[in-house]
Structure 1
């Protein structure tokens, strides 16, 4: 592990910004979906991808907020191609509608950035009666990816360009429940044993396991698409809204020394999505714009397959089949 701020093998570090890691990269002709692009690092990810010539589709729950972000990006990046589409990852129906609308639009899809997330919120069930962090951070993205995979395969074939799927995970994956992932709807929805932070860690562990199993299946299929996961870094965004005021104040006091800025926080996402160094790299976990090692359980292929099957069953039953 390198020290905070020191450069890794890629030539970049925790201090590198999204603009720096994509400097000189031409994304013209690429189309990307960025979930959660109306707040936090999602905004910067969308802006920098647009800056590099990528046609960015902002998949957001609040389209009014998304429209404001789009306007701001277009003002800052003349000629930017940005669209806004509604997506609520906590609702299987919303994910299905988004995917259907996207496919109907006829747009290609080169990059899928599964960025949106919530953190350490009180216990709550989604509209589909699934624990909110699990469904928003993992299951919604799992279904979205599944429904758009054929579009990505067609795009990579027709354009002869590599497609990339990027799951924004977290180092919090190290602090999941003791068993790693609770494979069972009753277990996930058990309010009595619910821990807001462990549930967050579980969902972030799922992001890595999902990317790894996806990478394996895409390789076997011969698809020219990679799948990777990453930790963006500790950043003061509205993800911290569920922490108590004492913790928020304490975090704010050390933020300028320990935390990343939003441009630094979006860097690893943009690096994995666009940089030529990452071409052909798949099934890896990135930290500070470099390949890193997640918790060993995150590389448990048996657990990844079990999670895949469990997620398939949940999305099939909740959405009436896919």
Structure 2
């Protein structure tokens, strides 16, 4: 069980709030995208970034809910620079449209927070006929990140300010299937276990950040990529569950956090000067935390990258073929 008052090396603890960790930080001049910003820790993350002066784009599936959140933030912070754009991470065409629309605005991009997630009770397919959790929690964010990378690289180069990519994972990654990522069973309904599949998608978030880090270091790009566990918070991610079941029973062994506390690690990794130059790490309670060996597996991270690249090809036949027969698809 977590001890809420115990501070780590950063000077923050599990009880720290997003406002506290971002206190005195001037984010003016920075532009951030936050996915899933219409509820829960996504909303609080967007609010605190706006409070610190960042321009925030709320990337949301439900635009009306997003607009309500925006109005509430502006009531509290009249000078907030905040916009709402539609993004359904379970639909690749929506991800492509969002990225195209954003890039056409000629806005810079300093911070990308891949926050949105789903946890359905039963097996469901996305609009692209891919298991919903893997499609939304990982593939949608993978594709979004790739489509925005040129913008982030240009922004970092022109501004000489470090870009930051933040993947909101979960300690639930430890509940993944024993194989880690079941590449040949992503769409296997018969072997589907909701909390295992959730763990698989959250493990993918960590591996994605790690592989981004490796690639950025090879390129000499001034962008970092990290993943994190926000804590156990009751948010809309549970909206598909009639009963939380095994995963919540397991997670409830830990102390639940409030939403402001749950958004703290995200805001810390996205904004705090202590994290400058830090990349490929996994954070919890605003401090670097240990992960399992599978989450550090560089070969698995590379394999996931290649698998995800093929799965997000614009050709739906190519995507389907690769998901069913991953070892047969040749790469250039």
Q: Work out whether the TM-score is over 0.5.
A: yes
Residue 80 (structure 1) shift? 0.2
1:155 aligns with 2:192: no
Residue 2 (structure 1) shift? 6.9
The equivalent of 2:218 in structure 1 is 220
The equivalent of 2:82 in structure 1 is 82
Q: TM-score, normalised by structure 1?
A: 0.94
The equivalent of 2:284 in structure 1 is 287
The equivalent of 2:38 in structure 1 is 38
Residue 319 (structure 1) shift? 6.2
The equivalent of 2:176 in structure 1 is 176
CA contact (8 A) 2:176 2:196 kept: yes
Residue 241 (structure 1) shift? 2.8
The equivalent of 1:62 in structure 2 is 62
What is the aligned counterpart of 1:276 among 273, 276, 281? 273
What is the aligned counterpart of 1:315 among 289, 309, 312? 312
The equivalent of 1:116 in structure 2 is 116
The equivalent of 1:12 in structure 2 is 12
The equivalent of 1:73 in structure 2 is 73
| Structure 2 unpaired stretches of 5+ | 319-332
Q: Secondary structure at 2:24's aligned position in 1? A: coil
CA contact (8 A) 2:89 2:95 kept: yes
Aligned residues: 315
- Partners in 1 of 2:310 and 2:80 — Cα distance? 39
Q: Residue 159 and residue 141 in structure 1: after superposition, are their counterparts in 2 closer, same or farther (change >3 A)?
A: same
Q: Secondary structure at 1:136's aligned position in 2? A: helix
Over residues 216-262 of structure 1, what are the superposed CA-to-partner deviations in whole Å (9 max), with x where a residue is unaligned?
101111110000000000001122234444869x97xx79x921000
Q: Residue 309 and residue 7 in structure 1: after superposition, are their counterparts in 2 closer, same or farther (change >3 A)?
A: same
| Structure 1 unpaired stretches of 5+ | none
Q: Residue 320 and residue 149 in structure 1: after superposition, are their counterparts in 2 closer, same or farther (change >3 A)?
A: farther
Q: Residue 188 and residue 30 in structure 1: after superposition, are their counterparts in 2 closer, same or farther (change >3 A)?
A: same
Q: Residue 247 and residue 122 in structure 1: after superposition, are their counterparts in 2 closer, same or farther (change >3 A)?
A: closer
CA contact (8 A) 2:119 2:241 kept: no
- Partners in 1 of 2:316 and 2:209 — Cα distance? 22
The equivalent of 1:22 in structure 2 is 22
The equivalent of 2:326 in structure 1 is none
- Structure 1 residue ranges, 4+ long, deviating more than 6 angstroms after superposition: none
Residue 320 (structure 1) shift? 8.7
- Partners in 1 of 2:155 and 2:64 — Cα distance? 30
The equivalent of 2:263 in structure 1 is 266
CA contact (8 A) 1:111 1:163 kept: yes
Q: Residue 319 and residue 88 in structure 1: after superposition, are their counterparts in 2 closer, same or farther (change >3 A)?
A: farther
CA contact (8 A) 1:120 1:199 kept: no
Q: Secondary structure at 1:192's aligned position in 2? A: helix
Q: Residue 176 and residue 223 in structure 1: after superposition, are their counterparts in 2 closer, same or farther (change >3 A)?
A: same
Residue 183 (structure 1) shift? 1.3
Residue 122 (structure 1) shift? 1.2
1:233-244 aligned within 5 A: 233-244=231-242
Residue 294 (structure 1) shift? 1.3
- Partners in 1 of 2:244 and 2:106 — Cα distance? 49
Over residues 142-185 of structure 1, what are the superposed CA-to-partner deviations in whole Å (9 max), with x where a residue is unaligned?
0000000000000001111000000000000001001000113x
